[in-house]
Each structure stands twice: as C-alpha cells, then as structure tokens.
Chains A and B, each alone.
Chain A
Amino acid sequence: MAAPVEEALASTHVEKKKKPPKRYWQEEKNEDDANPDKDKNSEAQKEFSDKKHKERQKKRKSGDGKFISGKTDPFPGEAPVPSEQLKKFQRGKKFQKSKTDKWKAKAIITRSEAESNLVQKEAARYDLLLPEDAGFLEGDEDEDTCTVSQEDIAEAVDITSGAKYFNLHLTQFGPYRLDYSRNGRHLLLGGRRGHVSCIDWQTKNLMCEMNVMETVQDIKWLHTEAMFAVAQKKWLYIYDSKGIELHCIKKFNDVLRMQFLPYHFLLATASATGFLQYLDVSVGKEVAAIGTKSGRLDVMAQNPYNAIIHLGHPNGTVSLWSPNQREPLVKMLCHRGAVRSLAVDKTGTYMVTSGLDRRLAVYDIRAFKPLHKYFLPAGASCLSLSQRGLLSAATGDVVQVYRDVWGGGPISKPYMAHRVRGSVWGVGFCPFEDVLGIGHGEGFTSMIVPGAGEPNFDALEVNPFRSLKQRQEWEVKALLEKVQPDLIGLDPGLLVKVDKASFEQKHKERVEALGYDPLENDKFKPRFKKRGRSAAGAVEKRKKKVAHEDQRDVIRKTVEERMEKEKEKKEIAKQKAEQGRKTALDRFKK
C-alpha cells in the first residue's frame, strides 16, 4: 500500500535545488538507504521515478504547474498508481480497434475505454483508504509456524481474538458438519445423530438447538441467517432460525450434500440416488433435476465465481454441472482412486481435490490443467479454502492449513496444524474472520488461522455488522436482482461479449432479403480529373493504388513480423559469435 507514496516522494527529491522542508517520512527513507538489500530496489525505483518526473516536467512545461507565488508544485501531476494494483481492477481485455471500424464506432470505443480506465484508476486508488490489514503469523528464527499451538496464539493476541479459539464438547450426537453464514456471524452445526444448533458464534449466543431425531447428512444456511436447510435421513427440511420447521421437501430425497448459490437463490443438492437437484428458494420450485448416472454423490463443491457445481465421483473423476444442461459441462480425471473432497477458490481459477490415492492435487480450472500434486501420508478427508487462499486439509484427527498452494513452487510443510479429539467430519473457514471451524466426532473446534479472512468487506454486498433493517433492505434488493438460473455457465461474463454469430446470421438474412449487401464498402470510383489526367491508363493506375487495400494490411503486417523475427535471430547469432566458441575447459568455469 505504501508504494505509491514512496514513489511520489522519490520523484520529488531527485532534481530539486532547494530542499523542501523535512517531512515525517524522510528518516524512513534514510533507513532504506542504509539497508543494502533494499538499495538496489530503491535505485531502480529512483530511475523509474526519474523518468516519470521528467515526463511530468515536460507536461508541466506545456501546461502551467506554477503557482502565482512562483513556487512550484512539489508533487506535480496526479499521484501514480502502481500497475499491479491497477491490474487487480482490470475487467476483461482492452478492445482492439481495427482500421475498418466506422468512425462512429471508433469514437464510442475510445470514449468508453477512457471511462473504464478512469474507473479502474479510481478504484485502485481507493485501496489506499481501506481500514483493515490482513492477519499474519510469523515464527522466530528456526521456529516453524506449524508448531505454534492454538493456546499460544490465543494468549498472544487480544482477548476478543483469543476468544475465537474455543471447543464445544458435544460427544453425544457427533460427528458434526458445520456451515458459516455468508457474513460470518452465524454458525450452524449439524450432528450426525440429529443434533442441529445455530449459534451467533462471536457473542456465543445460542439461537436455537434441537434434535431432529433422524440422521442429519448435511446442513446449509440459506440466503440469510433466518433460514437453513437440513438434509435428513429421507427428505430435505427447511427450518427458521428459531428451529421451527418451515418446509419438508419430499421431492428432494436422500440428500447427502448441499450447496447454496447466494446470487441465484438456488439450493443445489446431491443425493445418494445420483441426482443433482436445484431448488429455487425464493419461489420454492425445483429448477432442475439431473440424473448424473454416477452413483452415490457425497463429494460436492461450488465454484463461487460462476456458480457451477463440482461433483467428485468414486472413479476419480470430477464433473462440472450447470442446471441448464443434462450432461456435465466438463468431466476430468483427477485421481487414481475415488475423490474424497473438493474445494474451489473464490476467483474460480483453482480447484483443489483430494482422493483415496492419498494425493492432493491443485488444478487450474480455466485451462483444465494440473498445477501441483502433493502426497499426503494419510490423505485428506475434508478440504476448505479461505477467502485469502489458505487451504485447510483434514487428515484423520489432524487439521493442517497450507499457504500459497498455487502461488509459488510446491509447498513442503503446512502453515499451521492442529489436532482435535475425534476424526474430522467437516471444516470451513469463516468468511471475513481469521477462523477455521472444525466439526469432528467430539464436537466442534474453532481454530484461529491468522491471514485467512478478507480484512475489508463491502457493506453493500455482505455486512457482518448489519442491523435488522439493513438486512431486510438487503434481502429485498437481493431478491430483485436474483440472477436467473439460465445464466449459469462456465463464463459468467458471456453476456457482455459481442455476439458475432447471430449478427452474421442476421446480416446474411438481410442480404438475402434486400438483394445486396448494405454494409459493403463502396467500390472505389476514381474522380474525374481535368487537364488530361483522366486518360484510361491513368485511371487504371489510380484504381490499382487502392485495390486489395484490406489484403495489403495483412501482408504488410506479416512481412513486418517476419523481418523482426529474422532480426532477432541474427542478433542472437551475433551474440553467440561474440561469446566465442566453447572450449573443453568451459565446464570448469563457475
């Protein structure tokens, strides 16, 4: 976050004759100079800012950056925004303007491009104002962070945060599955032997607790904390936050796993009979029921980026489903044995799977390519990904948390680890908090994982501190902009892409109806010139000048490209020649 400030600072202190008054950050800069490691970095930065400064000075010369008093602005121009930050807010690719575009289209494109650039810059700049920073955990020298115990962390941090590490001893009805509400305030626990309770876990306020006297397979919050769904032995039930049964949905039987798609108001369920069903919870109708024909479905995850449901199968495949298609969108073979668990990150780029072959695999699901494969001695039974990309994997009664699973190279050791009493049945990161919830045979454990949660929430989207009125208002708004299930597809941005296919089809029909092409470029008609220049030969010559204009562009481009390639080749050859021949002794050189 400090980068832009530093940059602006460096740029102003380079070429100035008179020193500006000393500011509070100047000492910090001297420290930087003292540090040889950072020196190189700052040098490069200086060079960079030097260039920028000159550019800006040039700009200033053309404009008027001077004040009436004769002083010059020490920070001329607008503050620079680092390109990485800009990249975060980049939406889609830049539009390629072609020569054949009409001037009107060109003008529209230029205008909208300028607008979106401005928006991008402003949004990137706003990052500076975000109030909170993410958590972290750093060990001392030769201390592994994974050896740090939860008790130590709870002791080291403040009381409020320390209270986030707690255990619930519920030995009677376990093992437990859990679900956090979207804003991270509420926790839903479902014991296998029928115990269901929902808790405002930060205040430890019990909202309701009951025993449904049946097996509970899975539980899920619906769009607000006022309603939740419980997959029981036979049917799917919906309860409100006081524990009153609202619906028993007999169309959804033998449900094993559930996922809620918050923007579509869809509850997706996977059943023991091999059916994937979608329930629209805003109107209470079944949207789609798909027979997957692949047996018992007990591994399920949703892609939060595009609302595609991922199912893991006993034959090691993972299939991707949308409610609009009876067949899977994609089927990929991920493991030798059965798939045990799945998780997809919030940007929709990476999928983490674990299988009975005791491997943990990370896939890029935009390219459908494996990135890393790890071998875990016991295999992971439950996976969960946090908002900031931490991966928790439960093996037996140990929960391990990994960092940078897809970022850098392969990981060697976990970031954190924690042993619970019983075997783990469900894990889940709490959104907007540094907390991992673990449901196991002996109850529930809330574990502190620094750096897991997104520090800055957007209150118009999800607000952990919202009041009742705000929730009601949000609910109305959210229902108004409920996304229709037909819009679920692999690319959620498809709607703003240019539909070339149907345009071409329409154009074809139009040409057929009209008998001519209305968009065709007029053929070049040479103007009739006086004074003997309109001889047939001269006219022919002029016609030839503009003939095949479009083809010429392509040819020109390819020729240029070829020339460049040849040039590069030559340069490489030249360099090689300069380096000289390799001698036999070269291999001893360091």
Chain B
Amino acid sequence: MKVKVLCRNPDDYVRETSKDIQRVPRNYDPTLHPFEVPREYTRALNATKLDRIFAKPFVASLDGHRDGINCIAKHTKSLATVLSGACDGQVKIWNLSKRECLRTIQAHEGFVRGMCSRFCGTSFFTVGDDKTIKQWNMEAPGYGVREEPLTTILGKAVYTGIDHHQTEGTFATCGQTVDIWDEQRSSPIRSFSWGVDSFSCVRYNPVETELLASCASDRSIILYDMRESAPLKKVVMQLRSNTLCWNPMEAYNFTCANEDYNLYTYDMRRLDTPVTVHMDHVSAVLDVDYSPTGREFVSASFDKTVRIFPKNSGHSREVYHTKRMQHVICVRWSMDNKYILSGSDEMNIRIWKANASEKLGVLTSREKATIHYNQKLKEKFQHHPQVKRIARHRHLPRDIYKQKREQREMKEARRRKEQNVRKHSKPGSVPLVTEKEKHVVTVVE
C-alpha cells in the first residue's frame, strides 16, 4: 500500500515573526476563483463610484490681478512658473508650487493681448493694445532697478496674438496681418495677408516648426509655411474661430475653438471636413489647449465652464465650473499633464487637476497597482449601463443645464424639419449633410 495524505507544514504558510509580512501563496487555477466576471463587474462599479466620490478637481486659485485675465503663457523650461496678462496691461509671473506671485510688471497700456515665452526660457514676449511688442527678461531685475523691457518694437497697428518659434530666434505676431519677425530686427521679415483685415490668433506647429496657422476674422483659418512668401491654404467656416491649437503629437492635426459653441479638429491635409466636431459648450468657445500627450485637450468657454475633451471624441469627458468663475478667457494644460490653468473674467487664475479624482502626492507601489487595476476594470466595463450612468454623471449649473436642454430641442426640431422636407420632396433633391460637413463653407488653396 502506498499512501500520501495532504499535510501542510504551517511554517511554510505562516510568517515567521510578527514583524514579517504575511505569506500569501497564490494559485491561479480558474476553478478556485469562481464568479470571476460578476466580481470584476462589482469591483468596476465600486471603482467608478469611488472615482466620482473623490472627484475634487479644484486645487487652488491665484488672485492678485486687478482686471480680467486675458492670456496665460507656460514657461518653456520650468514647470512651476506661469505667466499671466490682464486687461489692464499688467503681467504677473507666478510660482505654482508656492502659489504666489513672483513679479508684477506694468507691461502695456490697455490689454495685454498675447504672450509667449522664448524656447530657451530666459525671456518672454508680450503684445498689447498700445501697438507694441515687448521682450522681457524672465529674471527679476536687481533691487532698486526699474522693470524695463529688453526690447520694444513699436508697430503700426494693434497686435492681437504672438507665438514664438520652437528652436529659432523668430516669432510671429498677428493683427491686421500675420507678421514673421526676427528677434534682431525691428521690422517684420515677412507679412502675410489674404484679403483679411484682422486676425485673432497665430500658432506655430510644434513638430513641423516652419508651419503656422492663424484664425482670421473673416471666419477662416489660414495655414502658412514660414519659408514661402504666400499662405498655403485656408478653410472658411460658418462662424469665426477664436483660437486654435496644434496637436503636439500629431503634426498635422489642430483643433480650433469656434464661436458656434463647437470645437473642430482638422487634419491639415484635408480641410474640407473636420475630423471631429466636439460639441458640449453652450456658448462661444474662447480658448483651447492640448495636453502634452496629445490625447486630450481643454477648452474654455464664455458659458463659464472649462471642458476636457478626448481628442477623438465628440463630447467632453469632464466639465469644471464653480459658482464664482465667470467667463473663462484663457486656459492652459500644464506640461506635466497633471494640471489645468484657467484665467477668467473675475481676475482669478484657477488651478484644476486634469484628472479630477487623481490623488496628489507620492503614491506607494500598492496604491499605484490598485489605480492601474481599477483603471483597467473601468475601461473593461465602461459600456455597462450602470457603470456608464455613474461615470457620465456631472452636476451642471442650472442655467447651463437649461441651455443645453434648449439647444437639444432646437437641434431636434431642425433635424425633424429637414427630415420632413426630405420626405416630401423629390428623392435626392435634399441631400444628407452630415454634422461634419455642415460647418465648412469652402476650402481655398
């Protein structure tokens, strides 16, 4: 007779001393883990609920400006430094980690229209309503020395925006024309205009560094190549675009913030239809900025909210608002992909978390593992109605909620009417126009 009976030595399964960690032998046999799916589903549901419970996106507010914030610029080298320009011509430099103002400069008379820091991070440029372009040192002057710009260029017309080249000493401004400047010269090396009398925004492409795009007041978006003398092409839309932002990871994609409450992502190579129409705002969209990963962007709107959109989704994944925040004029995504800065009419800069329920600070490895596991679970069960309902729910201010409903009804009515017209007219005479095609008027090359 040969016999063997299961006999476990407790020494192999129990920790040796109470200071030791517990022993946890594993066996991944699926029959020992019944109800895998329902349990995972429950976990996913819990994770989604916890996500909503811990969603506290507001981090801090920076106050000190004496007028509405008109523009914000990121420092190219330092994560903690941010520049802001107000409607009274004041520029402030902030330290985000200390949440305090480092410097205040009376840069312009009237609005500070645009601002950008040089690629090396040693100086920054401002343009204002006083028709000047000023370059400032990033370092504060010594004690008792007056704040003086490094250079001042006096132009003929008001400049409304400025952007600096990624690697070279050139920058672009827009106003009545789009001008390319050399830092060493006091007159533009090139001026572009295409039958337009004013521009609102100009941006360099961060990857294809010689490319530029600008939003014009004649409802068009114009693309330029800095090396050529004439603009490349333009797309005319139904309403004016306020600002645009290039995707930092996909060189040919950019998103523009439009007056018609929508944002449009275009592929530079095919301007006849936008790649995606991003809808959700209930008033004109004023500013847009991409996250450094290029997967999401943030938009600021006149409807007093900030929204975050995944780059290929038609609707926002997140909306931020507070009772006190008025019309949001400008918004920026921090370069560590963690925070969002929004500047609004009521003189405050607000710092938000990019991921509302994210835990700040150092995470232990177990915390990290849990977060990753929960993330995967949420992703796996995201389409289940219970999970979806909880994940999607956001509280909105009453008037925005009402406006949204109103607009939905209007849209529905328009659709119904079009459908009725189509039903009662000759087949093919009323063509189907998709939402993407609706907003583009023409493309001019």
0/1 string, A493-516, CB within 8 A of B gives 1: 111100000000000000001111
In the complex the two chains form, is B2's CB within 8 Å of A136's CB?
yes
> Which chain A residue shows the least CB distance to B8?
A132
Tell me if B27 is interfacial: C-beta within 8 Å of chain A. yes
Shortest C-beta distance, A91 to chain B (Å), equals: 7
Asked if B6 and A483 sit within 8 Å, CB to CB, the answer is no
Q: State the CA gap A143–B22 with chains docked (Å).
A: 45
Contact A131 B39 (CB under 8 A): no
CA distance A434 to B422 in the complex (A): 77
- Contact flag A493-B27 (CB < 8 Å), given A132-B8, A453-B6: no
- Whether a CB of chain A sits under 8 angstroms from the CB of B143 is no
**Complex alpha-carbon distance, A156 and B1, angstroms:** 9
Provide the A307-323 mask, 1 if CB < 8 A to any CB of B, else 0.
10000000000000000
Q: Does A294 contact B (CB under 8 A)?
A: no
Verify A130–B27 contact, CB threshold 8 A. yes
Contacts known (A459-B23, A482-B42); A307 close to B5, Cβ less than 8 A:
no
What is the chain A residue whose CB lies nearest that of B4? A135
Give which listed residue, B10, B25, B381, B415, contacts A456 with CB less than 8 A: B25
A454 to B8 Cα, complex, angstroms: 12
Binds A, one of B29-37, B198-206, B213-221: B29-37
CB distance from B27 to the nearest CB of A (A): 4
Determine whether the beta carbon of B6 is less than 8 Å from that of A495.
no
Residues of B close to A164: CB separation below 8 A: 5
What's the Cα separation between A495 and B25 when bound, in Å?
29
The reply on A219 being an interface residue by CB < 8 A is no
Chain B residue, CB-CB nearest to A497: B37
Residues of B within 8 A of A460 (CB): 24, 26
Q: Roughly how many angstroms separate A530 CA and B36 CA in the complex, as a whole number?
A: 61
A27 an interface residue at 8 Å Cβ cutoff? no
Query: Which chain A positions have C-beta within 8 A of B22?
Result: 467, 470
Known A-B contacts A137-B3, A138-B3, A457-B32; the reply to A481 vs B39 at CB < 8 A is yes
Say whether B1 contacts A137, CB under 8 Å. Answer: yes
Q: Is the CB of B28 within 8 A of A458?
A: yes
**In the bound complex, do residue A483 and residue B42 qualify as a contact, i.e. CB atoms below 8 Å apart?**
yes
Asked whether A153 lies within 8 Å of B3 as measured between CB atoms, the reply is: yes
- A154-173 CB contact bits vs B (8 Å, 1 = yes)? 00111011001000000000
Contact A307 B31 (CB under 8 A): no
Evaluate contact between B39 and A483: CB separation under 8 angstroms. yes
Chain A residues lying within 8 Å of B33, measured Cβ to Cβ, are 458, 461
B46 within 8 A of A: yes
Determine whether B384 belongs to the interface, using a CB cutoff of 8 Å to chain A: yes
B2's nearest neighbour on chain A, judged by CB, is: A138
Q: Which residues of A contact B432 (CB under 8 A)?
A: 515-516
- What interface size band does chain B fall in? 35 or more
Residues of A close to B384: CB separation below 8 A: 495
Q: How far is the CA of A582 from the CA of B408 in the complex (A)?
A: 83
Q: A140 within 8 Å of B by Cβ?
A: yes
CA of A32 to CA of B23, assembled, Å: 38
For window 22-70 of B, CB contacts with A under 8 Å fall at 22-39, 41-43, 46
Q: Is the CB of B42 within 8 A of A135?
A: no
Q: Is A450 in contact with B4, judged by CB distance below 8 angstroms?
A: yes
Interface residues in A460-501 (C-beta closer than 8 Å to B): 460-461, 463-465, 467, 470, 480-484, 487, 492-496
The distance from the CB of B394 to the nearest CB of chain A, in whole angstroms, is 23
- Kindly identify which residue among A131, A158, A458, A483 contacts B32, using a CB–CB cutoff of 8 Å: A458
8 Å CB contacts to A: which residues of B265-317? none
B445 within 8 A of A: no
| Interface contact A131-B43, CB-CB below 8 Å | no
Interface contacts (Cβ under 8 Å), in number, total 145
Chain B residues in 8 Å Cβ range of A140: 1
Which of B12, B28, B39 has the most A CB atoms < 10 Å from its CB?
A: B28
Q: Which residues of A contact B415 (CB under 8 A)?
A: 513-514
* Residues of B with C-beta under 8 A to A464: 8, 13
Q: Of A161, A455, A495, which contacts B41 at CB under 8 A?
A: A495
Residues of A within 8 A of B1 (CB): 137-140, 143, 148, 152, 156
Which residues on the A side are within 8 Å of B31 (C-beta)? 346-347
- B 344-372 binary contact with A (CB < 8 Å = 1; else 0): 00000000000000000000000000000
Say whether A434 contacts B6, CB under 8 Å: yes
Q: A126-B28, A487-B41 are in contact. Are A492 and B34 (CB under 8 A)?
A: yes
| Contact residue among A143, A304, A484 (Cβ-Cβ distance under 8 Å from B34) | A304
Q: Does B106 contact A (CB under 8 A)?
A: no
Decide if the interface of chain A is mainly helix, strand, loop or mixed. Answer: loop
Output the nearest chain A residue to B33 by Cβ-Cβ distance: A461
Interface residues on A, range: 35 or more
Is B7 close to A, CB under 8 A?
Answer: yes
Contact indicator B6/A132 (Cβ below 8 Å): yes
CA distance A305 to B33 in the complex (A): 9
Residue in A131, A140, A461, A481 whose Cβ sees the most chain B Cβ within 10 Å: A481
* A585 to B2 CA separation, bound complex (whole angstroms): 50
B403 interface contact, C-beta 8 A: no
Residues of B within 8 A of A157 (CB): 3-5, 7
Determine the distance from Cα of A495 to Cα of B7 in the docked complex, in whole angstroms: 39
Bound complex: CA of A104 vs CA of B2, how far in Å? 59
- Given the complex, which residues of B lie within 8 Å of A385, measured CB to CB? none
Considering only residues 195-248 of chain A, those with a C-beta below 8 Å from chain B are none
Cα of A133 to Cα of B5 in the assembled complex, Å: 9
| Smallest CB gap from B28: residue in A | A123
- The verdict on A587 contacting chain B, using a C-beta distance below 8 Å, is no
- Cβ of A433 within 8 Å of any chain B Cβ, yes or no, is yes
Q: Which residues in window 415-445 of B have CB below 8 A to A?
A: 415, 419, 422, 432
* A481 contact set on B, CB distance < 8 A: 39, 42-43, 46
Closest chain B residue, CB of each to CB of A457: B27
- Contacts of A126 on B, CB cut-off 8 Å? 26, 28
Task: Verify B3–A89 contact, CB threshold 8 A.
Answer: no
User: Which residues of the other chain, B, contact A152 by a CB distance below 8 angstroms?
Assistant: 1
Known: A156-B1, A461-B32, A513-B415. 9 other contacts (CB 8 A): A91-B36, A137-B1, A161-B7, A433-B6, A459-B24, A494-B37, A495-B384, A514-B415, A515-B432
List residues of chain B with CB under 8 Å of any chain A CB: 1-8, 10, 12-14, 22-39, 41-43, 46, 380-381, 384, 415, 419, 422, 432
A residues near B (Cβ < 8 Å) are 88-89, 91, 123, 126-127, 130-140, 143, 148, 152-153, 156-158, 160-161, 164, 263, 304-305, 307, 346-347, 432-434, 448, 450, 453-461, 463-465, 467, 470, 480-484, 487, 492-496, 513-516
A-B contact pairs, 12 of them (CB 8 A): A135-B5, A161-B7, A263-B39, A456-B25, A458-B28, A460-B26, A465-B13, A480-B46, A481-B43, A484-B42, A492-B37, A496-B380
Which 9 residue pairs spanning A and B have beta carbons closest together? A161-B5, A465-B13, A459-B24, A138-B2, A123-B28, A458-B27, A456-B27, A483-B38, A487-B38
